[in-house]
Amino acid sequence: MKTVWIIDGAYMFNVGKSQPFDYLKLKGELVRLNGATIHETYFLNSTRDPSTDQQSAFHTWLKSAPPRGPKMRVQLYALKDMHCLCPNCGEHFPREVQKGVDVAIATLVIKLAVQDVYDRLILSAGDGDFEDAISYVKSDLKKEVWISGLQANLSADLQSYADNVVWVDDLYPAIAK
């Protein structure tokens, strides 16, 4: 069974805030649970332009093959400036937000399924906005879907379509940094 793992980098960054984890170890655990290698892995996220040295080093490490790194295809998108209003003081302030990552993930999920690149998808994302894409690949294209994320913030909409939910919380002893 060919398996593809697609990662929402912003979601997994927030997962790692509470308990830091190692992507190489996480990939190893997903391979173990999958019972076979992962055919392709995609990491999608936004970054500043230009990115910091630390971000560039991290993205290079993600691309590196084992045993040095987890060997992922990294797709980065620009951050967009958004002007927000402080509810307390009424002051305007700039804030950077992701632009295009969720659309890119949904497109990749569907594109790779239509191209028959995978039989099983592992999606590390918590956003219910992916429900339509997941519903399509599962119901119409007959692909198996696994969702991985935290119990505290994994959309029930995504869970309802999952053939398997991999709780990252349960993997912490094996994936901790």
Domains annotated for the chain, with CATH where assigned, are 3-43+96-175 (3.40.50.1010)
Looking up tokens 């918590």 gives: 126
54-100 per-position pLDDT tens digit: 889 999 999 999 999 999 999 999 876 666 777 888 777 666 656 68
pTM: 0.90
- Are the CB atoms for 148 and 166 separated by under 8 Å? yes
Beta bridge partners of 121: 4, 145
- Quote the pLDDT of residue 80: 63
128-137 per-position pLDDT tens digit: 999 999 999 9
